[in-house]
A and B are shown apart, each in its own frame.
Chain A
Amino acid sequence: MAGQQQTAHDPFVIAGEEFGSRLIMGTGGAPSLDVIDAALAASGTALCTVAMRRLDPSTTGSILDVIDRRGVRVLPNTAGCRTAREAVRTAEVAREALETDWVKLEVVADERTLLPDPVELLDAAQTLVGLGFTVLPYTNDDPGLARRLQQAGCAAVMPLGSPIGTGLGIANPHNIELIVSEARGPVILDAGIGTASDAALAMELGCDGVLLASAVTRAQDPARMAAAMAAAVTAGRLARLAGRIPRRSHAQASSPIEGMAVL
C-alpha cells in the first residue's frame, strides 16, 4: 500500500535513535497496570514516560515490568519539579534508576496551570545538556523559547497544545507551525490532546510526533483510544507529507466544466 511505503521511508529519529512509532505515550492517569498494558499494546508506541517518586511499600507490580515486557523504551520525566535544581536532581536520580541519560524535562510554574516556567526550564536544559543528558523539554508554545532550548542543545522540543490534562487540543496552531518552521530537530506536540483529531492536527501542522497520556489513560476505553491515536498520528503524518490543498474562499468544481450535455 502507498501509505505503508510512505511511512516505511519516513523514520522518526531523536538524537540519532530511530523509533517505529511517532506516538509517545505517557503512562500517568491509568486506573491499573492492566489498563496501561493494554493501552501501550494498542498504541504501538516505542517510547513511553514514567515519573520518579519515593518508593510506596503498599504498591504491587511495577510499571517498568509492563514497559519492559512490551519492549518499549522508557523515558523518565521530571514531573512535579518547580525549579531547575529540582529537575536536574530528578534527572540524575532517573539516570541511576533507569540507566538512561534521556529525560523529558518538565519544570512547571504553578500547580493550577502546570504551564512551564520558561526561566527555570531553560536553566535546567542548559545544565542537563552540559552534564551529558539527552534533553526533551516540555515547553510553552513559544517560538522564541523553543529556539533558545534548541540552541542550548536539546534533542527535541515538545511544545504544549494546551495545559496538561485539559484535553483542549491545540490552542494556538499558528505558534506550533512557527516552531515547526524554525526547528533544527524534532518537534513533538506534548500535552492538551483530547481526542484523535487533535493528534492528527498536530501532525498536519508538521510536528514530528505526539506525546499524550490523559487522552488515552482517562478515556472510557483506553485501549480503543490508544488505537485511535495511533491511526490519527499516522493519518496526520501522511496528510502533512502529501500536501493539503490550499484553502479557498469560493468553490472550485472538480468535475469538468467543458462538455456539459444540453439537456
Chain B
Amino acid sequence: MTITLNGESCELDDDITLVAFIESRTGTTRGSAVVVDDEVVPRGSWPDYRLRDGQRVELITAVQGG
C-alpha cells in the first residue's frame, strides 16, 4: 500500500501497525509521535492501529531546540 509520509509518497506492507511503522523508521517509539489524516493518534492506540492505503502520516520526533 502507499501512504504519504511527511509529504512524500511511501510504500508500506499492508496492515502494518503504527508501533511497527514507527520502530521501522526510528528504531524506537521514544520521542516520536504520529498524526494520521490530521488526527494525533494516542500512544496507547499504536499497537492496534493499522495504517491504511492512502493515509497521510506526519511522523514527528524530538530534535534540538530552544
Number of interface residues of B (CB under 8 A): 23
- Is A42 interfacial (CB 8 A cutoff)? no
* B60 pairs with A97, CB closer than 8 A: yes
- Is B32 interfacial (CB 8 A cutoff)? yes
A50 to chain B, nearest CB (A): 4
Instruction: Report A-chain residues with C-beta under 8 Å of the C-beta of B66.
Output: 26-29, 49, 51, 77, 79, 164-165, 191, 213-214
Instruction: Report B-chain residues with C-beta under 8 Å of the C-beta of A92.
Output: 40
Quick one: which of A47-83 are within 8 Å of B by CB? 49-57, 59, 62-64, 68, 74, 76-77, 79
* A27 pairs with B64, CB closer than 8 A: yes
Instruction: Report A-chain residues with C-beta under 8 Å of the C-beta of B42.
Output: 96
- Is B59 interfacial (CB 8 A cutoff)? yes
Tell me whether A99 and B43 are in contact in the complex, defined as CB-CB below 8 angstroms, given that A27-B65, A55-B6 are known contacts.
Answer: yes
Quick one: which of B11-66 are within 8 Å of A by CB? 25-26, 30-35, 40-43, 58-66
A94 vs B30: C-alpha distance in the bound complex, in angstroms? Answer: 11
Number of interface residues of A (CB under 8 A): 39
Our pick among A55, A76, A77 for the contact of B32 (Cβ within 8 Å) is A55
Instruction: Report A-chain residues with C-beta under 8 Å of the C-beta of B31.
Output: 62, 64, 97-98
Instruction: Report A-chain residues with C-beta under 8 Å of the C-beta of B60.
Output: 52-55, 93, 97
A28 vs B63: C-alpha distance in the bound complex, in angstroms? Answer: 8
* A93 pairs with B64, CB closer than 8 A: no
Instruction: Report B-chain residues with C-beta under 8 Å of the C-beta of A77.
Output: 65-66
* A55 pairs with B26, CB closer than 8 A: yes
* B64 pairs with A96, CB closer than 8 A: no
A46 to chain B, nearest CB (A): 17
- Is A183 interfacial (CB 8 A cutoff)? no
A191 vs B65: C-alpha distance in the bound complex, in angstroms? Answer: 13
* A94 pairs with B33, CB closer than 8 A: yes
18 residue pairs from A and B, CB less than 8 Å apart: A28-B65, A51-B63, A53-B63, A54-B6, A54-B7, A62-B31, A62-B61, A63-B64, A68-B30, A74-B62, A76-B62, A96-B33, A96-B40, A96-B41, A97-B61, A164-B66, A213-B65, A214-B66
Q: Residues of A with Cβ closer than 8 Å to B?
A: 26-30, 33, 36, 49-57, 59, 62-64, 68, 74, 76-77, 79, 89, 92-99, 164-165, 191, 213-214
